[in-house]
Amino acid sequence: MGRKYCVRFLVVLAIFSIIFSGELTAAEKTARPDYTNTISVARETIWKAISSGQGSGATIAVMDQGRIIYSEGIGVADRAQNRAVDRNTRFNIGSTSKMFAAVAVLLLVDEGKVALDEAVARYIPEFTMKDERYKKITVRMLFNHSSGLPGSTFYFGYKPDARMHQILLDTLKDAYLKHDPGAMSLYCNDGFTLAEMIVEKVSGKKYVDFLNQRIFTPLGMKNTSVSIGEINDPNSAEFYDAKTGKKYPLLVISVYGAGGMSSTAEDLCRFGDSLSSKGKRILSDASIKEILTPQPALFSGKLRGPQIMGQFGWEYSDIADYRKKGIQVLGKGGHATGYTTNLQVVPQEGIVIGFSISGDANGEAITRPILDALMKDRKLMEDRASGVQRPVGPQLVPPGLTRYAGYYVDASSAVKIAFNKQKNGFTITRLAAEGPDKQKPAASKSFIYNSGYFYGDEEGVTYYFTTVDGKSLLISRGEPKPFDVDMILYQKLEIMKTPARLHENMQGKIWLARDMPPYIQGSVMPASSSLYKELPGYVDLMGIKKIENANYAGIAATAFRDQTGISLFAKNGKTWIKWGGFLLSTADDIPKIKNSTTSIRIKEDNYNEWLKVEKGALLRFEKPAGGRLIVSTPDRALYDSIVDSGEMYAPAGSYIFCAGAAGDVFTIHAE
């Protein structure tokens, strides 16, 4: 009886405690928002992305003033196991990893071991370039993307590769800058690999060990480490190709500073909160100010509207609608093939949103509505004004603008811009290459002029021409959505009076990769080079290059990310090309597959071997356990042994890529 009474008393006491606790929480909630709208918008937005094929599973966490107020896994992490995404599911976070590099370097700044305005070469003596301007690249320039470095010297894979630092250093020794250090902020992955190297050089520790000791452990980030393919965490999100449904191996990214980490949404919130006014700080006040303050390059402010990338690692450090209210918002996205991440931080309010999805999505477009809903729940912002605008009618183009007619280039192609006969707009037409791989030119896009801007068929996007630092540019505003910023769309090319020529005829030539590892992510396909009669002195091989001499073509698109020159050299009586950190050879005289059995062996040099399918045939393969075999045309991959098996049909003109170790033999049976 006494024991039962005691038990009942404890139960009543427990119930009383819960009720009392609830009353206190209710009292506290008089100053706290109701997050129902935030949660509803998050679920709706994420499910819309999943149901529209942008991904299989996602994770979302929202933090407000140090508390995780919402965290959820949505969708599936592994279809075969019917394993759902939960709060602890790991995703590769791609370039959101760059913020860890930013904080790591600032920790060393706090210790007086690194100075942001000191030359990078001081900390990495092995870092040299043909372009002597490299000596002026400072540590700060690595983080606001203004170093002028060519771009992205690495590859994703299905196993770790410890050579990435050396590959970058070897590549840069023969490279030139796109622009003067500090001139422009153009997205650059290689700068963050150099930052990773600085951390190792100065601290004397492996980069990931430094992150664990100085960032992840102090902030309680228990589910953050290297990429999911390297750690093989059983609770990782798998990647499925949206078009084929094929499941790919877990991705490994061996450039940790640029994009090689994995995490959960909750851990991203813990990291972001360390930069807020009330979060757990690991940086000094001076370094917090540094990471939250814009870091403009010399180009900044020379366009009509704001730009992105002029911050300390972030994509942006403010949003126009929020800036008007005196609220700073910082954002950093991440994209690694098959994974998309976005981190939003409102430091003065202690608000952080972490989001990842296993798919190719616009992370910013998913997190922005969630942020808007949260700010509305917090009564800090009202509904944003609708972006829908009434269509405008054409007006005559001012005479001074017609001088912008000519040939332009973006990161991958060349176009012609011509003003129409009515003088009320212009057209953009992609140039057509000549040669055996000639393609029909894309249909022209038309734009009309009205009140200082040009309008196309994309709602909410406007365009204008300008000249900055001697470069004629076509600028877009409002794309990619939902950024309200000005971005360079095209850069005008110089028409040379005495154009140079390469010693190799590049017209319609097919080039084959020769030093790709068998575990590289993605399908290795032939590349074609082209010349344009309208652009003497230029060559198109994975982007437009300006021919400098018989053996070298440099960067033509100097206002765009991920550009590199090409160097021609002779090897075994054939012309080879060094493109970035990789080697290419021509497809001339490679062995051909006929209706028979063909075997090919990887030689002692470990170079990739290629075969060409002369006539359409059914193919089946025998390959070594660690080998890789890919069948493709210059346009698309048809078969990849990393995900495919069995017979396949290869049309005439297909190419077969074989990668493996020296001595590996590949056998192809054709019928």
Question: What is the number of residues in the chain?
Answer: 671
Nearest Cα to 612, choosing from 670, 669, 666, 654? 654
- CB 408, CB 474: distance < 8 Å: yes
Give bridge partners of residue 649 from the DSSP assignment. 618
**Distance from C-alpha of 58 to C-alpha of 46, rounded to nearest angstrom:** 7
Selecting among 71, 95, 185, 528, the annotated active-site residue is: 95
**Distance from C-alpha of 333 to C-alpha of 344, rounded to nearest angstrom:** 9
CB proximity list for 51: less than 8 A, separation 6 or greater:
none
Which two structure tokens, joined as six digits, stand for 168? 């970058």
Give bridge partners of residue 226 from the DSSP assignment. 261
Q: List the alpha helices (DSSP H) in 116-264.
A: 120-123, 139-143, 164-173, 190-203, 207-211, 228-231, 256-259
The single residue listed with the structure tokens 């003065």 is: 348
CB proximity list for 401: less than 8 A, separation 6 or greater:
419, 449, 465
Task: Provide the b/e sequence for 504-537 (b: ≥16 CB within 10 Å).
Answer: bebbebbbbbbebbbbbbbbbbbbbbbbbeebeb
Which two structure tokens, joined as six digits, stand for 526? 């032939």
- CA pseudo-torsion sign 380, 383, 388, 390: negative
Which two structure tokens, joined as six digits, stand for 272? 């972001």
Rg of the chain over Cα atoms, rounded to whole angstroms, equals 27
Q: Which helix (H) or strand (E) holds 332?
A: strand 330-336
CB proximity list for 356: less than 8 A, separation 6 or greater:
58, 59, 91, 93, 237, 263, 264, 265, 268, 339, 340, 341, 342
CB proximity list for 163: less than 8 A, separation 6 or greater:
none
SS3 638: strand
95 given a catalytic annotation:
yes
**Distance from C-alpha of 638 to C-alpha of 308, rounded to nearest angstrom:** 38
User: Given strand 91-92, what is the order of strands in its sheet?
Assistant: 91-92, 261-263, 225-226
**Distance from C-alpha of 11 to C-alpha of 20, rounded to nearest angstrom:** 14
Both ends of the chain: CA-CA distance in Å? 88
Q: Which residue pairs from 29-33 have beta carbons closer than 8 angstroms and sit at least 24 positions apart in sequence?
A: 33/64, 33/377, 33/378, 33/379
Checking phi first, is residue 537 left (phi over 0); if not, alpha (psi -120 to 50) or beta?
A: left
**HEC assignment per residue over 29-47:** HHHCCCCHHHHHHHHHHHH
Which residues participate in catalysis according to the annotation?
Answer: 95
